[in-house]
Amino acid sequence: MKIDVKQIWENVKANSLLLQGCKMHEFEAVDNAPFLQKYKCKNCGGIINNSDYLWFTRGFEMASNKRVLTCVYCGVEYPQDTPSHGAEILTEHIKVCEKHPMREAEAKIAKLEKINQELGDLSHPSYQSHKSDSPTKQEAKQ
């Protein structure tokens, strides 16, 4: 059996032109071979192999599944194509997210700072001098 390489090349080019000229592909399986399965477009008649079909359908799946960045603490979602870079906008959100664990720590720190202001700074020299003016336990016993 003689293989006509020129004829094979002409067939490949004709198939490629068919596929490129088609506005909307609707592929259907031509045979049931597990790894070498071919798909034919209902509109243009162009034929593609299994791996090309997988890439073709994968592109549509990725386009239809818009990714979003989601805060794991409160569930706020930011589309990946936001004007600002996604990671930056999520970082800014975390700084103000009410359900982030740091908000609890910040509230405790603020409460302690308020108490510290009300009592006065315990490391202040007047406290230290007051402390040294008070009698020690031994002096109080005498």
Per-residue model confidence as pLDDT tens digits over 51-79: 777 767 666 665 566 667 778 888 888 77
Q: How far apart are the first and last CA of the chain?
A: 123
What pLDDT does residue 58 have? 65
More confident residue, 57 or 43: 43
- As a whole number, mean pLDDT of residues 95-102 equals 87
Instruction: Kindly state whether residue 45 falls inside one of the protein's structural domains.
Output: yes
pLDDT value of position 131: 52
> Same domain for 28 and 16?
yes
Domain extent for 76: 68-133
Look at residue 120 in the predicted model and tell me its pLDDT: 74
Report if residue 139 sits inside a domain: no
Q: Is residue 138 part of a domain?
A: no
Query: Looking at the structure, do residues 85 and 60 belong to the same domain, yes or no?
Result: no
Higher-pLDDT residue of 130, 14: 14
pLDDT at residue 70, as a whole number: 79
Q: Indicate the number of domains in the chain.
A: 2
Q: Is the pLDDT of residue 85 over 80?
A: no
Residue 140 domain-assigned (yes or no): no
Residue 141 lies in a domain: no
Do 118 and 92 share a structural domain? yes
Do residues 90 and 122 share a domain? yes
The phi, psi pair for 70, rounded to 5°, reads -120, 130
How many Cα atoms within 13 Å fall on the side-chain side of residue 47?
11
pLDDT of residue 47: 87
Residues 6+ apart with CB under 8 A from 82: 89
Last residue in a domain, options 64, 97, 112: 64
Instruction: Check whether 24 has a pLDDT greater than 70.
Output: yes
Helix (H) or strand (E) holding 39: strand 38-41
**Residues 103 and 77 reside in one and the same domain:** yes
What CA–CA distance (Å, rounded) separates 81 from 84?
8
Q: Say what the pTM is.
A: 0.39
Contact 42, 29 (CB under 8 A): no
Of residues 130 and 91, the one with the higher pLDDT is: 91
Considering 40, 64, 88, which residue would you say is the last residue of a domain? Answer: 64
Picking from 45, 64, 83, the residue at the C-terminal end of a domain is 64
Asked if residue 31 lies in contact with residue 40, where contact means CB atoms within 8 angstroms, the answer is no
Which pLDDT value is given to residue 19? 83
Instruction: Give the whole-angstrom CA distance, residue 47 versus residue 56.
Output: 13
Looking at the structure, tell me whether residues 57 and 104 fall in a common domain: no
Question: How far are the Cα atoms of 4, 98 from residue 1, in angstroms, in the given order?
Answer: 10, 76
